[in-house]
Amino acid sequence: MPSPDSGTPAVVRPAAISAQGWGWRHAGRTTQAIHALDLDIRRGERVLLLGPSGAGKSTFLHALAGVLGEEGDDADETGSLLVDGVSPKAQRGRAGLMQQDPETQVVLSRLGDDVAFGAENLCVPREEIWKRVHEALDDVGLRNSASGNFALDHPTSALSGGQKQRLALAGILAMRPGLILLDEPTANLDPAGVLEVRDAVGRCLDKTGATLVVVEHRVSVWKDLVDRIVVLQPGSSSAPGGSTPGVLLDGDPDTVLAQARDMLTAAGVWVPGYVPATRPRSGTAAGSGTAAGPGAGSGGELLLATQELAVSRERPRRRGFKTIPPLPVQAGLDAEVFAGQALTITGPNGAGKSTFALTLAGLLAPVSGTVTAAVGLSDGAGTDPFKWKAQQLISRIGTVFQEPEHQFVTGRVLDELMFGPKHLGHGEDRVDELLERLRLGHLVDANPYTLSGGEKRRLSVATVLAAHPRVLVLDEPTFGQDANTWAELASFLSELLDAGTSVVSVTHDQEFSSVLGGTEMRLEPSFQGGARQEAGAA
Amino acid sequence: MRETLTLRGNNALLTRANPLAKFVSVFLITLVLALSIDMVSASTALLGELALFPLAGLTVRLLWQRGWPLIIAAALGGWSTAILSADSGRILLDVGIWSISEGSLQLGLGFMLRGLAIALPAILLMSCTDPTDLADALAQKAKLPHRFVLGTLAALRLVGLMAEEWQTIGMARRARGVGSHGSPPQRFKAMLGQSFGLLVQAIRRASRLAVTMEARGFGGGRRTWARESTYSRLDLWVLAGGLFIAAAAVLAAQWAGTWHFVWLKQG
């Protein structure tokens, strides 16, 4: 089918959405993911969709994109959901969908091909495709722009997360969709990437006038770009047959945010200007710290230190009989980790923050330089954490990875928590306390993979702490978390700090680091610019 | 891993040929070599292939980096054939149950050369063909179903990601106390767990990618192609070259009297 608007550039007919009593139950589930939704979105409207996790927001976007699978194979649809009066499945290319994980938003390995992919599938003629590809890349700022100027055969794997998401947007624009659907498009990005993507979306909407539906926790990012906010009711609480409406609140951003501020903050939504209350560090005034040096406050015993450390994720390569060390992403790093004190590692993407943290945590071998555990930490296991056995490691340094699923080793929440203590032969008594403290008690029998994002994060922190490490290393612990999980995590960590654990975190989140206090170590991307730990606060 | 799958920086002549023409040439050579076990046809083909190296932008160093497992396998195959096959002619080396005679040495050498001669064209093809171009040609020229071809191509991109993910999962599991230390069964168990973790992530990624592709209209019956896969005069030369090497191998072996179909009994 030839595209209706081939030939004339930038003619986009915005789409209208109408949901009437619409509901969807996924195959194999007993309750509906979304229930009795009545919602009309006019042509060209820009809507921010909010609601607690489990409200069926993603399901709604997938349905609008026509990728929800077939009814029948045990899935169940009720009511009607129409785009321009027609079922979304019947009109491929009318809507474009961007998801959260940048890696899976890229289809092909060359930049130009990837943008062309959607247009090709819609049978757009060849000359028209390349015109659209150029235009779309211009619009998202990946060509002829200060924020990027790439050749058409640039490898897509060499793009940053924010660039990948802008590339995905270009691929969507090249289809000339009347409806753009964004499913937490910036949840995996650093602050610079978030703005990059948000601004590109804004420019493209101004140009095409397409309808927008975006799902996102961080309201402040999208507030000024949208002209309507819709808050959904959680799906589970509205039992099938009940009279609870699918939509809780609906209106222009300021009104909805004013009306529902308390409700939204309670539901963990990041409302602009709201920082959730957290437990302050004892002994320091709200994290800003007293002028005392190390050794003051709680303990201050030196646990771990690095000297002239160079780090890389890559292993040394063998070429014949020679061993070639990898090129370090950072070198000359000196840092010290004290008991009861926080160390925050900050800096832009690609600066090697995570790599440094993982090396510090004994998970990566240093390229050069040393990581030395003090006697108080090593406890007879030797000074080099990388040489420790896995079981020696977990009772000394615990590491929480950015993606909780990477660390799940069993099929049940309780087994997951008991795993460390069982192997160490002690510490099982602490599991109950952790279950209660991190609100996982009602989930003990659940499969870790089926938990919500916030629950997974809390579980991954709990499992690592169950082994009683004196040093806790966290890689972007607050990425993509709702405000409630954020506050719980920050409060819990400040408690741990006061109890003498030392907390090393890699983060972009300034509010988070100011709750924890301690020192900040900023890494710059260039290999030359080795960073030193500066005495920030405390 | 990712770098080895792309051809950036390689501007050799053969990179401009249509992948399908190269594919057919490689197929011809491989077919002929699969028909006979003899040294002459294998070494003739091998010589011809080595002559093509510069045209494909391949150096001996690159060849070793990309094809060392195949080269070692060929050498091992030749060695074991030489020591294990029935002796004939003068005995050259005798160590207990192993012996190498003139006849078995010849057979072993033939085996090794054949292994190399069959492996080299594949390496040659890979080193001067971009997977994207190959997919274009397979779908547009060979008329393979585009859903299958593009699906495979997209999945190939994830392979590099999976290699990185394997490393990350390994570290994440060590941080949970599952180590690569311990007895072989324990290590095997740990590795099984890590593989499972990778499998879960691979399936997640794959299903998200599938949604992305479907949302971009993939899966319909027809589509257009932004880049046309074309033949040029170069492709005729590529086909002729492949045909030439294959024919030369057969004729040389016929002339030397060593041509021997594999399915006939050793005389």
What is the pLDDT at residue A456?
A: 92
What is the pLDDT at residue B265?
A: 59
Q: Taking every pair of C-alpha atoms in chain A, what is the biggest distance, in angstroms?
A: 74
Q: Can you spell out the DSSP letters for A148-190?
A: B---TT-BGGGS-HHHHHHHHHHHHHTT--SEEEEESTTTTS-
**Cα angle value B127/B162/B119 (rounded, 5°):** 30
Query: In angstroms, what CA-CA distances link B209 with A52, A107, A151, B147?
Result: 25, 7, 24, 14
B206 vs B211: CA distance, rounded Å? 9
> A109 vs chain B: nearest CA distance in angstroms?
7
Chain A interface test: which of B146, B164, B216 (most A C-beta within 10 Å) = B216
Q: Do the Cβ atoms of B172 and A406 come within 8 Å? A: yes
Residues of A in contact with B131 (CB under 8 A): 109
Beta strands at A322-324 and A317-319: parallel, antiparallel or unpaired: antiparallel
What is the pLDDT at residue B55?
A: 87
Of the segments A127-131, A143-147, B72-76, B187-191, which one has the largest average pLDDT value?
A127-131
Judge whether residue A355 has pLDDT over 90. Answer: yes
Lowest mean pLDDT among A24-28, A241-245, A312-316: A241-245
Measure CB to CB from residue A93 to each of B131, B177, B217 and give the nearest one.
B217
In terms of Cα–Cα distance, which of A452, A448, A503, A431 is closest to A490?
A503
Judge whether residue A529 has pLDDT over 60. Answer: no
> B27 vs chain A: nearest CA distance in angstroms?
27
Judge whether residue B7 has pLDDT over 90. Answer: no
What is the pLDDT at residue A8?
A: 45
Mean pLDDT score of chain A, rounded to an integer? 85
Question: Would you say B232 and B18 are in contact if contact means Cβ atoms under 8 Å apart?
Answer: yes
**For the segment A383-422, what is each residue's pLDDT rounded down to a tens digit?**
999 999 888 999 999 999 999 999 999 889 999 999 999 8
State mean pLDDT over B216-221: 87
State both tokens at A515: 């709750």
Lowest mean pLDDT among A22-36, A53-67, A473-487, B31-45: A22-36
A489 vs A476: CA distance, rounded Å? 12
Confidence bin at B241 (pLDDT 50/70/90): very high
State which H helix or E strand residue A112 sits in: helix A111-121
State mean pLDDT over B244-265: 86
Judge whether residue A51 has pLDDT over 90. Answer: no
Confidence bin at B22 (pLDDT 50/70/90): very high
Chain A interface test: which of B10, B176, B181, B205 (most A C-beta within 10 Å) = B176
In terms of Cα–Cα distance, which of A469, A211, A255 is closest to A360?
A469
SS3 A50: strand
What is the pLDDT at residue A73?
A: 65
Residue of B nearest to A403 (CA): B172
Lowest mean pLDDT among A87-91, A319-323, B199-203: A319-323
Look-up of token digits 């007993």: A30
In terms of Cα–Cα distance, which of B262, B248, B242 is closest to B40?
B248
Q: Is B96 exposed, middle or buried (0-12, 13-18, 19+ CB in 10 A)?
A: exposed
Confidence bin at A479 (pLDDT 50/70/90): confident
Residues of A in contact with B161 (CB under 8 A): 103
Q: Do the Cβ atoms of B213 and A424 come within 8 Å? A: no
Q: Can you spell out the DSSP letters for chain B?
A: -TGGG--TT---GGGGS-HHHHHHHHHHHHHHHHHB--HHHHHHHHHHHHHHHHHHT--HHHHHHHHHHHHHHHHHHHHHHHHHSPP-SSEEEEETTEEEEHHHHHHHHHHHHHHHHHHHHHHHHHHT--HHHHHHHHHHTS---HHHHHHHHHHHHHHHHHHHHHHHHHHHHHTTT--S-S-HHHHHHHHHHHHHHHHHHHHHHHHHHHHHHHHTTTT-S----SS-----HHHHHHHHHHHHHHHHHHHHHHHHT---BTTSPP-
In terms of Cα–Cα distance, which of A195, A230, A196 is closest to A212?
A230
Confidence bin at A45 (pLDDT 50/70/90): very high
Q: What percent of chain A has pLDDT over 70?
A: 89
**For the segment B99-148, what is each residue's pLDDT rounded down to a tens digit?**
778 888 888 888 888 888 888 888 888 888 888 899 999 999 999 999 99
Residue of B nearest to A395 (CA): B177
**For the segment A435-452, what is each residue's pLDDT rounded down to a tens digit?**
988 889 889 999 998 888
- Cβ of B167 under 8 Å from any chain A Cβ? yes
Q: Do the Cβ atoms of A406 and B179 come within 8 Å? A: no
State mean pLDDT over A8-12: 60
What is the pLDDT at residue A342?
A: 94
**For the segment A337-354, what is each residue's pLDDT rounded down to a tens digit?**
999 999 999 988 778 899
Judge whether residue A187 has pLDDT over 90. Answer: no
In terms of Cα–Cα distance, which of A477, A49, A490 is closest to A264?
A49
Query: In angstroms, what CA-CA distances link B1 with B157, B160, B162?
Result: 11, 6, 10
Query: In angstroms, what CA-CA distances link A292 with A289, A496, A518, A533?
Result: 8, 20, 11, 16
State mean pLDDT over A472-496: 90
- Cβ of B131 under 8 Å from any chain A Cβ? yes
Count of A-B CB contacts under 8 Å: 165
Q: Do the Cβ atoms of B226 and A399 come within 8 Å? A: no
**For the segment B142-179, what is each residue's pLDDT rounded down to a tens digit?**
999 999 999 999 988 888 888 889 999 999 999 998 87
Lowest mean pLDDT among A85-99, A144-158, A283-297: A283-297
Question: Would you say B122 and B108 are in contact if contact means Cβ atoms under 8 Å apart?
Answer: no
Global confidence as pTM: 0.83
Q: Do the Cβ atoms of B205 and A463 come within 8 Å? A: no
Measure CB to CB from residue A407 to each of B160, B175, B225 and give the nearest one.
B175
Measure CB to CB from residue B132 to each of A113, A171, A390 and give the nearest one.
A113
State mean pLDDT over B222-240: 92
Confidence bin at A377 (pLDDT 50/70/90): very high
Judge whether residue B53 has pLDDT over 60. Answer: yes
Lowest mean pLDDT among A197-206, A211-220, B124-133: B124-133
Confidence bin at B18 (pLDDT 50/70/90): very high
Residue of A nearest to B204 (CA): A104
In terms of Cα–Cα distance, which of A139, A210, A208, A157 is closest to A179?
A210
Give the residue with greater pLDDT, A469 vs B5: A469
Residue of B nearest to A410 (CA): B193
> A358 vs chain B: nearest CA distance in angstroms?
8
Confidence bin at A72 (pLDDT 50/70/90): low
The amino acid present at A291, given as its one-letter code, is A
> A165 vs chain B: nearest CA distance in angstroms?
12
Judge whether residue A10 has pLDDT over 60. Answer: no
Give the residue with greater pLDDT, A526 vs A286: A526
SS3 A78: strand
- Residue A534, Ramachandran bin (φ over 0: left; ψ between -120 and 50: alpha; else beta): beta
A211 vs A12: CA distance, rounded Å? 10
- Chain CA centroid to CA B62, Å: 14
Confidence bin at A538 (pLDDT 50/70/90): very low
SS3 A39: strand
What is the pLDDT at residue A490?
A: 93
A469 vs B139: CA distance, rounded Å? 55
Report ipTM (2 d.p.): 0.84
Roughly how many angstroms between the first and final C-alpha of chain A, as a whole number? 66
> B212 vs chain A: nearest CA distance in angstroms?
6
Question: Would you say A385 and A393 are in contact if contact means Cβ atoms under 8 Å apart?
Answer: yes
What is the pLDDT at residue A2?
A: 44
- What sign does the dihedral A81-A82-A87-A92 (CA atoms) show? negative
Judge whether residue A533 has pLDDT over 70. Answer: no
Q: Do the Cβ atoms of A101 and B208 come within 8 Å? A: yes
Judge whether residue A136 has pLDDT over 50. Answer: yes
